[in-house]
Amino acid sequence: GNSVTQMEGPVTLSEEAFLTINCTYTATGYPSLFWYVQYPGEGLQLLLKATKADDKGSNKGFEATYRKETTSFHLEKGSVQVSDSAVYFCALRATGNQFYFGTGTSLTVIP
């Protein structure tokens, strides 16, 4: 079956620290992988995506590389800001149009 496992939070970092949020997946076929972000009181927004092995998605300083050999799609950012405080969801889209989400990782960045 299809599933996503995310690093459990919450994660608290100081401003300008390095961020890694781990994500691994199980999927049939060749999924596309996504990171979504959810700010308090809002819906999910796409942060970045990758559609095939070795693709790197990037946006707003965040990056994630689709690693088929380790079935991983870890999210990284070199220097976090207070405004990055949110909940981050890793997701996959397998055959069909259904998305499978991880449980989310809450990030708090303190000044």
Residues in contact with another protein by CB under 8 A are 4, 6, 32, 34, 36, 41-46, 49, 51, 89, 91, 93, 96-104
Looking at beta carbons only, is 20 or 45 nearer to another protein?
A: 45
Find the shortest distance in angstroms from Cβ 26 to another protein: 15
Find the shortest distance in angstroms from Cβ 46 to another protein: 5
Amino acid at 4: V
C-alpha to C-alpha distance for 64 and 56, rounded to whole angstroms: 6
Sequence-distant (6+) residues with CB within 8 A of 14 are: 109, 110, 111
Looking at beta carbons only, is 34 or 73 nearer to another protein?
A: 34
- Given a contact cutoff of 8 angstroms between Cβ atoms, the answer to whether 54 and 66 are in contact is yes
The most distant pair of C-alpha atoms in the chain lies apart, rounded to whole Å, by 43
Looking at beta carbons only, is 4 or 21 nearer to another protein?
A: 4
